[in-house]
């Protein structure tokens, strides 16, 4: 009683369309093959041998007819199920070996097990033992171009056995070999058959075919002869067969392998990888640098605004800037400043009377900007005394002609000596210097001098006319609310709105808004750079898929699923972009370090994280189409297109 055949095809046809012609490569072929057989398929070139072999090995599907392989009807199986059948049951040997040039002998042999989820150590161990069995124990780390044809073909036999190689399909395995190498390869195939492996071999060498137990002869897509020549017994127990490895499918192993293969592919072509990355490098560097520059400028501007006093409000006469009548208005009075300083949200307030006059010391005569202010003025403005004292309430009440000058003014009038206690002569009166304040950034060319506003209004500018009132709010006060409250207080006192309030927070907001607009603009440019970089990645990945099409075909033949191929190319694009991003971030940090004294760059971890995420996104988005193209390839077409 003979058990169910391993392979059974019934009346299969397979046609190829060439222009308007339809070519029948298989034309009604029926065939059964049992486990343990050694079958030779012969026939003239173009008779359909390879096409039949591909159908038997689940690399291809017939257009019509039934095809039962290892008990499964292939018509009902999807591409990934066919990949599983190939992976678990078949080992392929090709005339041109189809070894991957970038992998060592051992690396090539390991490939099928990668897709079967075998662990790294077990895989390496098994590959080494198979190669040793095939007499290549001393060639484990040789690359294909360092081996003879016969050795390469033995590597491919080891690869066919990696996942068990229950059925070995060899398409003209000795076609490219010298007679001695051919003899050795055939010897191994016979040995495997004796051990219980089913061998199907395509050859047009009748002498080689005759050595098989069964010879099938083809002509024009049909089987014209099928004869048993030897005394072999089909379905003999598979005693010595190479065992299937214990499998441990682990998605993480698959991912790690895909990553490993991707890295290997990139390292194999470093210049191309670098050029491809360049767009990403520049794009990410631009994004990171621009963000850092934006943040740096924001902080710098913020610090400058803080120098004005965190929350300072200024009240001016008139209806707004440039009001022509403002000079004639005498509405702001010292009482307003007093009333405001009594408000709970006000820390200090000071009237300001602004004027200028020529000051003289000895022969030196200079124009001085005179501010008549209250004793709290320095506190309001956040300015520090460097020597002496500020005038106090009694000086104010006495309209004392005392002055606090800034360091530059002191230096100009009293070069080399101390200004404290000295007198500055004005036309109308002398002013005695009692204190020196640090120079203000905003002073510009003017020489600053502060006096009690009572002294200024009586002696210089005329009574009661204030230029402004400056108010410092208590810490934590909302400046917009305070502005409203101050307006209300002033309205109650004046009855009409003959004043306006300037809130330097508005300045800050306006500055931040313009900074935001600038950042948006530069970010848009950086974003475009990133997209251009991404298109570069996509372009090179498409080229890469086209170039490595036979590698993809081989990976599919040894059982890679579409997802495996997709993951490999996606990860390759992802790695390109991430390495590019790392270089870009490094570039930006380096530029920031070099320009540290010139430009205020502040790098934030968020910006770097965002850039990394952006790069990953670009890798995945622009890698998707090339990866999908690769995954959708037909294994046979891919294998033949080399």
Task: Considering the complex, state which of residue 47 and residue 312 has its C-beta at the smaller distance from ligand ADP.
Answer: 47
Judged by the rule CB under 5 A, the positions of this chain that interact with Mg ion are 50
**Binding of ligand ADP at residue 312 (CB under 6 A)?**
no
**Binding of ligand ADP at residue 51 (CB under 6 A)?**
yes
Tokens of 596: 């540290």
**Torsion angle, alpha carbons of 407, 409, 414, 418, to 10:** -30
**Binding of ligand ADP at residue 203 (CB under 6 A)?**
no
384 binds, among ligand ADP, Mg ion, none (CB under 5 to 8 A by kind): none
Do 202 and 41 touch, CB atoms closer than 8 A? yes
45 binds, among Mg ion, ligand ADP, none (CB under 5 to 8 A by kind): ligand ADP
Rounded distance, CA 435 to CA 381, Å?
A: 16
Residue the block writes with tokens 């006059």: 357
For residue 280, count other CB atoms closer than 10 A to its CB: 30
Task: Considering the complex, state which of residue 50 and residue 348 has its C-beta at the smaller distance from Mg ion.
Answer: 50
Rounded distance, CA 353 to CA 178, Å?
A: 108
46 binds, among ligand ADP, Mg ion, none (CB under 5 to 8 A by kind): ligand ADP
Task: Considering the complex, state which of residue 50 and residue 181 has its C-beta at the smaller distance from Mg ion.
Answer: 50
Rounded distance, CA 160 to CA 177, Å?
A: 18
1 binds, among Mg ion, ligand ADP, none (CB under 5 to 8 A by kind): none
Region 8-47 residues binding ligand ADP, contact defined as CB under 6 A? 16, 18, 23, 25, 43, 45-47
The residue within the footprint of ligand ADP, chosen from 7, 38, 40, 50 (CB under 6 A), is: 50
- Provide the CB-side half-sphere exposure for 14 (13 A, CA): 25
51 binds, among ligand ADP, Mg ion, none (CB under 5 to 8 A by kind): ligand ADP
Rounded distance, CA 632 to CA 642, Å?
A: 17
C-beta of 559: minimal distance to ligand ADP in Å?
21
Using alpha carbons, select from 256, 247, 265 the residue that is nearest to residue 84: 247
Three-state secondary structure string covering 252-308: HHHHHHHHHHHHHHHHHCHHHHHHHHHHHHHHHHHHHHHHHHHHHHHHHHHHHHHHC
Residue nearest to Mg ion (CB): 50
C-beta of 23: minimal distance to ligand ADP in Å?
5
**Binding of ligand ADP at residue 49 (CB under 6 A)?**
yes
**Binding of ligand ADP at residue 255 (CB under 6 A)?**
no
How would you label 400-424 residue by residue, b for 16+ Cβ within 10 Å and e otherwise?
bbbbbbbbbbbbbbbeeeebbebbb
25 binds, among ligand ADP, Mg ion, none (CB under 5 to 8 A by kind): ligand ADP
How wide is the angle at C-alpha 419 spanned by C-alphas 416 and 421, nearest 5°? Answer: 140
Task: Considering the complex, state which of residue 546 and residue 640 has its C-beta at the smaller distance from ligand ADP.
Answer: 640
Task: Considering the complex, state which of residue 219 and residue 458 has its C-beta at the smaller distance from ligand ADP.
Answer: 219
Measured CA distances, 329 to 291, 319, 435, 528 (Å): 48, 11, 32, 55
Stretch that binds ligand ADP, among 48-56, 122-130, 159-167, 498-506 (CB under 6 A): 48-56
C-beta of 223: minimal distance to ligand ADP in Å?
12
Provide the binding-site residues for ligand ADP, judged by CB under 6 A: 16, 18, 23, 25, 43, 45-51
């Amino acid at each position: 009683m003979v058990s169910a055949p391993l392979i059974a095809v019934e009346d299969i046809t397979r046609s190829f369309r060439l222009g308007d012609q339809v070519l029948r490569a298989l034309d009604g072929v029926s065939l059964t093959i049992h486990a343990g057989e050694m079958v030779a398929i012969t026939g003239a070139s173009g008779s359909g041998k390879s096409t039949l072999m591909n159908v038997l090995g689940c690399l291809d599907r017939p257009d019509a007819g039934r095809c039962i392989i290892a008990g499964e009807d292939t018509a009902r199986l999807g591409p990934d199920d066919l990949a599983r059948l190939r992976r678990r049951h078949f080992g392929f040997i090709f005339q041109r070996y189809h070894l991957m040039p970038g992998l060592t002998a051992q690396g090539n042999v390991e490939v099928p097990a990668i897709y079967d989820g075998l662990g790294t150590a077990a895989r390496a161990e098994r590959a080494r033992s198979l190669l040793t069995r095939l007499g290549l124990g001393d060639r484990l780390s040789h690359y294909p171009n360092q081996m003879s044809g016969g050795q390469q073909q033995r590597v491919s036999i080891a690869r066919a056995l990696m996942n068990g190689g229950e059925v070995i399909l060899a398409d003209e395995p000795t076609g490219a070999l010298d007679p001695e190498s051919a003899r050795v390869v055939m010897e191994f195939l016979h040995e495997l058959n004796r051990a219980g492996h089913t061998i199907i071999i395509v050859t047009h060498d009748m002498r080689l075919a005759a050595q098989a137990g069964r010879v099938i002869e083809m002509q024009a897509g049909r089987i014209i002869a099928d004869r048993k020549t030897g005394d072999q017994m089909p379905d003999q127990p598979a005693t010595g067969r190479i065992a299937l490895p214990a499998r441990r499918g682990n998605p993480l192993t698959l991912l790690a392998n895909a990553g490993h293969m991707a890295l290997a592919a990139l390292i194999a072509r470093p210049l191309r990888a670098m050029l491809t990355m360049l767009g990403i490098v520049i794009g990410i560097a631009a994004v990171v640098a621009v963000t850092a520059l934006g943040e740096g400028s924001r902080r710098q501007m913020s610090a400058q605004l803080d120098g004005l006093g965190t929350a300072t409000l200024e009240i001016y006469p008139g209806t707004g800037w440039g009001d022509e009548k403002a000079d004639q208005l005498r509405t702001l009075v010292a009482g307003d400043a007093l009333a405001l300083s009594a408000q709970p949200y006000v820390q200090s307030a000071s009237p300001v009377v602004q004027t200028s006059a020529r000051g003289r010391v000895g022969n030196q005569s200079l124009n001085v900007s005179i501010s008549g202010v209250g004793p709290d003025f320095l506190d309001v403005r956040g300015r520090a005394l460097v020597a002496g004292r500020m005038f106090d309430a009694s000086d104010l009440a006495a309209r004392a002609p005392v002055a606090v000058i800034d360091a530059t003014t002191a230096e100009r009038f009293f070069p080399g000596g101390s200004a404290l206690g000295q007198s500055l002569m004005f036309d109308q009166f002398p002013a005695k210097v009692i204190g020196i304040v640090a120079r203000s950034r905003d002073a510009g060319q003017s020489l600053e001098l502060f006096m009690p506003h009572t002294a200024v209004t009586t002696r210089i500018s005329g009574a009661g006319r204030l230029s402004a009132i400056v108010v410092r709010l208590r810490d934590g006060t909302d400046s917009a609310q305070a502005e409203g409250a101050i307006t209300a207080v002033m309205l109650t006192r004046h009855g009409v709105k003959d004043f306006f309030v300037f809130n330097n927070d508005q300045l800050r907001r306006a500055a931040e808004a313009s900074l935001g607009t600038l950042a948006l603009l530069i970010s848009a440019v950086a974003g475009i750079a990133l997209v251009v970089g991404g298109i570069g990645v996509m372009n090179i990945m498409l080229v890469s898929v086209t170039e490595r099409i036979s590698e993809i075909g081989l990976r599919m033949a040894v059982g890679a699923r579409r997802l495996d191929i997709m993951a490999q190319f996606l990860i390759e694009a992802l790695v390109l972009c991430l390495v590019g991003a790392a270089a870009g971030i490094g570039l930006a940090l380096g530029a920031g370090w070099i320009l540290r004294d010139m430009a205020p760059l502040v790098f934030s971890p968020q910006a770097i994280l965002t850039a990394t995420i952006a790069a990953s996104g670009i890798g995945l988005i622009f890698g998707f189409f090339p990866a999908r193209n690769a995954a959708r390839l037909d294994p046979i077409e891919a294998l033949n297109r080399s």
